Amino acid sequence: MKSEHIPKATIARLATYIQVLSEFKREGTDVVSSERLAEACSVNSSQIRKDLAYFGEFGVRGVGYYVQDLITSIKRSLGIDRAWNCGLVGVGNLGRALLRHREFSRKGFILRGAFDCDPYKIGEIVEGMEIVCSRQLPAKVKELSLEIGIITTPPERAQRAANYLVGAGIKGIINFAPSRISVPSHIHLEYVDFFHHFYAAAFHIRFAEHQE
């Protein structure tokens, strides 16, 4: 099929598919049907086939999908069949947890630069990486070919951090701070806010209680 606009929800689901397929692979399963994958992901099986159809034909009719092949295909479709260099701005509690998280490099997102404005933190080594002054962002973005910026500063500093990143020529920003920021339209911006998961939990739990 190969279409233009891919729904946000499809991208999120593809991430789940990769996760579950990797588990299948670890278990030694070589081939999987959309039906079985669907069950493991708690989605509809035609949903899976439709999601995949945006990018091409990856299955074999009458057989199913070859697990390893499908993982590779999805990764290529998403553009994560290569490494992405990332820079992290704001090395506090969350920033440190992210820098120490092995999964990033395993998934192809290499944290190559760590930036902070606190003179006490600059020069410190975290996970083999030296914390650098945020003023050096423009130089470092070029030097390290950083493409994605991760903002883990306090919310009131997020806009400034974004400005630095944009000025330095970054291509996309993932903002973990709970504040809205503005960037030029050619910069891809993602907000990470997991409080809405807590809100959803609270809402549904209370609603369920209210039912009985």
Partner DNA sequence: CTGTGAATGTGAATTTTGTAACAAAACCCC
Partner DNA sequence: GGGGTTTTGTTACAAAATTCACATTCACAG
How does DSSP assign the chain, residue by residue?
---SPPPHHHHHHHHHHHHHHHHHHHHT--EE-HHHHHHHHTS-HHHHHHHHHTT----BTTTBEEHHHHHHHHHHHHT-SS-EEEEEE--SHHHHHHHT-THHHHTTEEEEEEEE--TTTTT-EETTEEEEEGGGHHHHHHHHT--EEEE-S-HHHHHHHHHHHHHTT-SEEEE-SSS-----TTSEEEE--THHHHHHHHHHHHHHHHH-
Span of 45-53, 64-72, 130-138, 202-210 interacting with a copy of itself by CB under 8 A: 202-210
With CB cut-offs between 5 and 8 Å by kind, which of DNA, a copy of itself, ligand NAD, none does residue 84 bind?
a copy of itself
Span of 56-64, 80-88, 120-128, 163-171 interacting with DNA by CB under 7 A: 56-64
Q: Residue 123 interacts with ligand NAD (CB under 6 A)?
A: no
With CB cut-offs between 5 and 8 Å by kind, which of DNA, ligand NAD, a copy of itself, none does residue 55 bind?
none
Closest approach of ligand NAD to the CB of residue 159, in Å: 9
**Contacts with a copy of itself, 24-43, as mask; x by CB under 8 A:** ----------------xxx-
Q: Residue 145 interacts with a copy of itself (CB under 8 A)?
A: no
Q: Residue 45 interacts with DNA (CB under 7 A)?
A: yes
Provide the binding-site residues for ligand NAD, judged by CB under 6 A. Answer: 89-95, 97-98, 100-101, 103, 115-118, 121, 134, 152-155, 157, 160-161, 176-178
